[in-house]
Amino acid sequence: MRDTPVTGAIMTPDTQQPPAALAPGSAGIVRPECAQFDMPLALAGGTSLERYQLVYETYGALDADRSNAVLVCHALNASHHVAGCYEDDPGNVGWWDNMVGPGKPLDTERFFVVGVNNLGSCFGSTGPGSINPATGKPYGPDFPVVTVEDWVHAQARLADRLGVERFAAVMGGSLGGMQALAWSYLYPERVAHCLVMASTARLSAQNIAFNEVARRAILADPDFHGGRFYEHGVVPARGLQVARMVGHITYQSDDVMAEKFGRALRSGNYGFSFDVEFEIESYLRYQAEKFSRYFDANTYLLITRALDYFDPARECGGDLARALKPATAEFFVASFSTDWRFSPEHSHEIVQALLRNGRNVTYAEIAASHGHDAFLLDDPQYHALVRAYFERIAEVQGGR
């Protein structure tokens, strides 16, 4: 098992970070933990999971009054491994290591940070690749379709287990931001601050369309075997690769792709074939191949569906302010100028709904060239804002 960032951009060879153990400000050597839950979890789809496990990591120490916990929620293909690295795998650096660590914007010398792998994922928490106790075989397609809200309910149980009654903050980017937002209205009394980056309160038709392309590619791969590929000793690598390529394009801005790759050719000349010729092709294939070696195809289906379904306003006649009415947290919302997956307009909608409800909102629209991926990168303006926000939280708490 190797964890990777939410999108591949920060793991590309040209931007790969040095082992965290060596880097100043690193969370250092970390170890994942596992929590077992034997009480059934009712799911939005009408079924329930009888028992499950959640894999998580923590960084920093919980205060005596248990008031300094921060939950970091992950996006599509990331995991509980938010920061630091593993003793036996020092190159495996957490996906948000630039954000979380001693002295970093989310300072683990002040805060007790929790990263948790979501249900249905493939990094240790119960998911389609786990053994279904009812059959003794992997769940595969029998793993229930889960929602952002289902994840939040499972995370709340983990918080109980950790003795965290109320989070100082719940935060996340993209799909992680949806979870943070869902915490604010599902468990208002348990969230003091909510940080929602590069996210949305609902996918657009175009967003859903890209997810559907990815799912089609996976479902159409003969090695998918209706989701029971585990039993056939294969993985639908080709479908997963196409899915990943589509995703990857939407994570980056046109501009940054132009700047990084442009029309550069690998050999300098046209080969008049369908092999890799342009650098951008090579990059996409490399990322896709890497992805298909560690990511689970059923998980990809589940997580894209959770993205599609997230729409808190849906049960309120489309009125997002009404859906967010229960929330009492203070909010930090950030968007990035070149993010065309969840453009700043998506964040505006959230901010406007919160302001209509009289919530306290800090909103930053950050000029950044990297598109959706920007929330993962250490843009100085962005990090300074997050740092300032957490410093304020710490001060209000009588920070240490």
Contact residues toward a second copy (CB under 8 A) are 44-46, 144-145, 202-206, 208-210, 212-213, 215-217, 219-222, 238-239, 241-242, 245-246, 248-249, 252, 254, 257-258, 260-263, 270, 272-274, 277-278, 280-281, 284-285, 288, 301, 305, 308-309, 311, 314, 340
Mark whether 184 is an active-site residue: no
- Nearest distance, CB of residue 127 and a second copy, angstroms: 15
- Nearest distance, CB of residue 307 and a second copy, angstroms: 12
State the amino acid at position 212 in one-letter form.
E
What are 51's two structure tokens?
């028992």
Residue whose tokens read 């994570």: 251
Given the residues 26, 121, 125, 174, the one annotated as active site: 174
Given the residues 343, 372, 373, 379, the one annotated as active site: 372
Closer Cβ to a second copy, 230 or 300, answer by number: 300
Rounded distance between C-alpha atoms, residue 252 and residue 199, angstroms? 15
Number of neighbours of residue 380 by Cβ within 10 angstroms: 7
Residue whose tokens read 């034997």: 38
Consecutive H or E run containing 37: strand 33-37
- Nearest distance, CB of residue 45 and a second copy, angstroms: 4
- Nearest distance, CB of residue 46 and a second copy, angstroms: 7
Closer Cβ to a second copy, 246 or 386, answer by number: 246
Mark whether 174 is an active-site residue: yes
What are 199's two structure tokens?
């996210």
- Nearest distance, CB of residue 362 and a second copy, angstroms: 27
Are 179 and 170 in contact by the 8 Å Cβ rule? The answer is: yes
Are 96 and 17 in contact by the 8 Å Cβ rule? The answer is: no
Are 7 and 107 in contact by the 8 Å Cβ rule? The answer is: no
Closer Cβ to a second copy, 60 or 247, answer by number: 247
Q: Is 393 exposed, middle or buried (0-12, 13-18, 19+ CB in 10 A)?
A: buried
Task: Give the phi and the psi of residue 89 in degrees, each rounded to 5.
Answer: -155, 65
- Nearest distance, CB of residue 267 and a second copy, angstroms: 14
Closer Cβ to a second copy, 73 or 301, answer by number: 301
Given the residues 296, 339, 373, 379, the one annotated as active site: 339
Closer Cβ to a second copy, 159 or 218, answer by number: 218
Rounded distance between C-alpha atoms, residue 97 and residue 17, angstroms? 9
Q: What's the per-residue H, E or C state across 274-327?
A: CCCCEHHHHHHHHHHHHHHHHCCHHHHHHHHHHHHHCCHHHHHCCCHHHHCCCC
Rounded distance between C-alpha atoms, residue 194 and residue 182, angstroms? 10
Closer Cβ to a second copy, 145 or 355, answer by number: 145
Q: Is 87 exposed, middle or buried (0-12, 13-18, 19+ CB in 10 A)?
A: exposed
Closer Cβ to a second copy, 276 or 364, answer by number: 276
Mark whether 63 is an active-site residue: no
Are 350 and 199 in contact by the 8 Å Cβ rule? The answer is: yes
Rounded distance between C-alpha atoms, residue 344 and residue 197, angstroms? 10
- Nearest distance, CB of residue 239 and a second copy, angstroms: 8
Catalytic residues: 174, 339, 372
